[in-house]
Chain A
């Protein structure tokens, strides 16, 4: 018999519970509770409003830049909501909405993009790592936090977020491999939004599905409709509980789409058509869940009005917070670099202090 070498063509089956029309998928599986779906829907309304407000602040010049998760709100909300108190979240620059859904003040999160400091919130208090900018580099950290928790006998689970582009990075591979070898309680959620700035998924990977990569690490891989909050919540909850119970890591690929450009500084018309974007608009995560919830009577006008009001309140809070003129003491640049002293930095700090004093005297 001839030995043949064939390219594997399997793709992890897509988990979907509620389809684009807001209709239950026959045989899709058990839904999260009605209460969880309503709470998740409300959180998505807030996340959408946050994305819109942050985008507006960029146009007004209050924020340097904002990578929007518009269209990915189901991923953002589910990633945060499936975690228990004490669990950790490792977000990227596109995951502001997930951090806010986890309970961090958006004004603190956006302080980074206003240019105040590189991270504006308290990582140890919230168990939310700083937003990672170098792709996939936060994933080994997530493994380390998780494995340290396991060594300490703590039931902590870590949710590590990245995008499809990040799966090409070496640190993605190293983190998944380490997590599997050490059975670290990590859930890797890849938001496959089809673009890494301008480069499409096909140029990142020839795999039939990113979730299939899990096979190579010896961990479960699940592909889920990333615009279906019900499916995401179910899949991620199973993965989190599996990790918490000592079962090790899971790779979850969320099939979604980046509706907006990479950031406001990007011109998406150079690399994709408007028709392509329009094909994804009807698959919007908010629309489909709203349709479903209204249909089964879990959502009513009063609840919708309350969610809308809460979203406006959030937006107003962000506007007020971002309008505040926050001054950062330039000498703080020297404050945190190391605990141990440095005569060289002391000299440089004195130089800056004298320059500032001279500037102050000149202004008087």
Chain B
């Protein structure tokens, strides 16, 4: 079965990821999809909808409810010639697999001097904004980004969700693929015939001359909204979508900041010891002599993820971002 061509049609992010899985499975018999509820149900977010029917229960199947077992079994299958793509049902439900991810997924290639590679993808719906109850809205990217050996992808657009997942499945390295669940049902035009994007390249979503917002995943649309709002207030705000947390594209980010001399990093995760902190430090190291003000971070607070009624106070919003922008030592004289 060949890849269904959907060039130029509108797809939700869930459908884009589904299309990527389907096309990857069609292109390569060793690509397997498994996890909790991914079979007959098609996943709690319907991301794996129809894959079991299309490719059979040997290619897309449900497992017992045990995340360490899922990831651990994927390690073994990757050791024996398969390309498993496993689904963790929610961010916080991936924690039981943490030891497998850190001690084996990330380290097996190095441990064996490159003799054993683990071409596997761990898909994790993450971040908030859906009114989810506790344990359903964590931004857990820093745990993975901190672990050498993992490639960490965090697409913001449906086209990148498709393209980067294809790239991640083709990668010889293990990949953590973070899906902003808030956008699962957002529809955008996706051209699946585009070449697979390279892993490790950020992209400028909006050029700007006054200040650069650096964001990834669910924060990119917020940053773009802030930029649009800022434009009406006389600020020319650019937005860089990091989209690959590891490896990190210093060049694209630093190049954008050198033009503006001002930068704000936007992310949902608590800011302390976060990916946002790492980005701020890297930008400062590379752009110090171009900076007009310290690099600011607008992140989630250093508190556990709030209950649904209060999450809007936690999540970085347009106003908080624009307040940070106004704080960047503008010389209005």
Contact = CB atoms under 8 A, between A and B. Distances in A.
B144 to A, nearest CB: 13
Interface in A326-344: 332, 335-344
Contacts of B71: 140
A234 B113 CA distance: 37
A177 B149 contact: no
B142 interface: no
Interface in B98-118: 99-100, 103-104, 107-117
Contacts of B99: 134, 137, 171
Interface string A142-173: 11111111011000100000000000001101
A175 interface: yes
B12 interface: no
A118 interface: yes
A118, A129, A337: residue with the most chain B Cβ atoms closer than 10 Å: A337
B204 to A, nearest CB: 18
Contacts, number: 146
A342 B100 contact: no
Contact of A141 (B32, B72, B151): B72
B247 interface: yes
A59 B45 CA distance: 58
A67 to B, nearest CB: 18
B115 A124 contact: yes
Contacts of B80: 144-145, 148-149, 152, 156
A139 interface: yes
Q: Which of the four size classes fits the interface of chain A?
A: 35 or more
Contact of B114 (A142, A335, A344): A335
A122 interface: yes
Interface string A338-364: 111111100000000000000000000
B199 interface: yes
A145 B77 contact: yes
Interface in B58-89: 58, 63-64, 66, 68-69, 71-82, 84
A144 B112 contact: no
Nearest to A143: B73
B311 interface: no
A318 to B, nearest CB: 21
Contact of A341 (B72, B78, B117, B200): B200
Given A171-B69, A174-B69, A137 B103 contact: yes
Contacts of A144: 72-80, 84
A130 interface: yes
Contact of B110 (A149, A170, A336, A344): A336
A178 interface: yes
B68, B71, B148: residue with the most chain A Cβ atoms closer than 10 Å: B68
Given A152-B81, A171-B100, 7 more contacts: A119-B113, A124-B116, A141-B79, A148-B82, A174-B68, A178-B64, A340-B247
Interface of A: 117-119, 122-124, 129-130, 134, 137, 139-149, 151-152, 156, 170-171, 173-175, 177-178, 181, 332, 335-344
17 contacts: A117-B113, A118-B107, A118-B111, A137-B100, A141-B75, A141-B79, A143-B69, A143-B73, A144-B73, A144-B79, A148-B76, A151-B82, A174-B72, A336-B110, A336-B113, A343-B249, A343-B250
Return the 9 tightest CB-CB contacts between A and B, nearest first.
A144-B76, A140-B72, A174-B69, A148-B80, A141-B76, A336-B114, A144-B73, A144-B77, A145-B76
